[in-house]
């Protein structure tokens, strides 16, 4: 992270990072996402079910190790959580060097991955605006001891271009520092101050969960597909909706593919001293 990026992240609460993925990563992540989505659409209403502590009921896929929720229909969304279990093609995002160069300066101490989701947004779908202002300690943005000290942060990877009309991710810049909760309930397309962030395939957006954010309406015929990976201090447990505040749902056979540094990103307790 350059000094300029650090300044902008602190000022605005997000960064657009051009060409985060190389051509090979982009192609294999896009192909794996399509395959995973097709599997999830076939299985999403089937047992076994996992009830989230936030209320939603997810399909827990025993074969591929993901949790999926939602509907394949106009106006709807599908979330496929724990995608790392589903396909080794996603392994390149675990301890991804370019990504970690942005994560380590803004999370104090050892970071871990606390969220992984393939987010699918069909035509006419929008994501409600949330967060911003005083959000409590779990998702807070702080500046302590002369450095940025974030709890939950997310990196969104774009596997195709997304314009405003195609349902761009959107933010209200600076609201991670606001002392007030937003007084607006009129949705991402009408809320004052909302900026839709247009990106190209291979770009990424980094943001603090403290920032007010959402997704403007997808007015196009293109289904929006994005990969989201959350980070925070190692002790912050899963922030996937299906397994909220539980240990990360990472299968033994997935961990077996990883080297030690990658495994550490899924360890939510202090390493035993040897």
Ligand X SMILES: O=C(O)CCC(=O)C(=O)O
Q: How far is the CB of 30 from ligand X (least distance, A)?
A: 17
Of 25-33, 94-102, 177-185, 211-219, the segment contacting ligand X by CB under 6 A is 211-219
Of 3-11, 39-47, 135-143, 213-221, the segment contacting ligand X by CB under 6 A is 213-221
Burial of 267 (0-12, 13-18, 19+ CB in 10 A): middle
Query: Which residues partner with 235 through β-bridges?
Result: none
Q: Which of residues 101-140 bind ligand X (CB under 6 A)?
A: 119, 121, 127
Contact status: 83 vs ligand X (CB under 6 A): no
Q: Which of 263, 124, 135 is nearest to 207 (CA)?
A: 135
Contact status: 215 vs ligand X (CB under 6 A): yes
- Enter the DSSP assignment of 199: B
Binding mask 3-22 for ligand X (x = CB under 6 A): --------------------
**58 in the Ramachandran plot: left (φ > 0), alpha (ψ -120 to 50) or beta?**
beta
Contact status: 231 vs ligand X (CB under 6 A): no
Between CA 268 and CA 264 the distance in angstroms is: 8
User: Which tokens is 241 given?
Assistant: 């909706």
Of 94-102, 208-216, 244-252, 258-266, the segment contacting ligand X by CB under 6 A is 208-216
Give the one residue of 83, 169, 249, 266 binding ligand X; rule: CB under 6 A: 169
Give the one residue of 213, 225, 243, 254 binding ligand X; rule: CB under 6 A: 213
Contact 176, 132 (CB under 8 A): yes
Contact status: 154 vs ligand X (CB under 6 A): yes
- What does the longest C-alpha to C-alpha distance in the chain come to? 56
- Enter the DSSP assignment of 166: B
Q: Where are the beta strands (DSSP E) in 139-258?
A: 141-144, 147-150, 153-158, 169-172, 195-196, 204-208, 212-215, 224-233
Contact status: 176 vs ligand X (CB under 6 A): no
Q: How far is the CB of 253 from ligand X (least distance, A)?
A: 27
Binding residues for ligand X (CB under 6 A)? 119, 121, 127, 154, 169, 213-215, 226, 228
């Amino acid at each position: 992270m350059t000094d300029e990026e650090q300044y902008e992240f602190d000022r605005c609460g997000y960064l657009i990072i051009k060409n985060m993925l190389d051509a090979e990563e982009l192609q294999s992540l896009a192909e794996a996402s399509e395959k995973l989505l097709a599997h999830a659409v076939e299985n999403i209403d089937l047992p076994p079910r996992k009830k989230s502590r936030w209320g939603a009921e997810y399909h827990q896929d025993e074969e591929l190790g993901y949790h999926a929720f939602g509907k394949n229909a106009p106006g709807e969304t599908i979330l496929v959580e724990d995608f790392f279990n589903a396909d080794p093609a996603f392994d390149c995002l675990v301890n991804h060097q370019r990504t970690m160069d942005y994560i380590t300066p803004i999370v104090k101490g050892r970071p871990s991955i606390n969220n992984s989701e393939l987010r699918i947004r069909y035509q006419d779908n929008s994501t409600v605006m949330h967060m911003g202002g005083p959000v409590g300690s779990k998702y807070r943005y702080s500046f302590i001891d002369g450095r940025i000290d974030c709890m939950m942060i997310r990196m969104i990877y774009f596997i195709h271009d997304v314009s405003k009309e195609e349902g761009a991710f959107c933010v209200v810049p600076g609201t991670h520092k606001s002392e007030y909760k937003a007084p607006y309930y009129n949705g991402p397309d009408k809320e004052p101050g909302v900026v839709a962030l247009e990106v190209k395939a291979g770009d990424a957006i980094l943001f603090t969960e403290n920032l007010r954010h959402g997704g403007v309406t997808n007015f196009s015929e293109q289904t929006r597909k994005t990969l989201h990976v959350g980070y925070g201090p190692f002790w912050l447990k899963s922030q996937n909706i299906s397994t909220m505040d539980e240990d990360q749902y990472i299968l033994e056979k997935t961990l077996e593919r990883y080297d030690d540094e990658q495994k550490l990103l899924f360890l939510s307790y202090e390493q035993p001293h040897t």
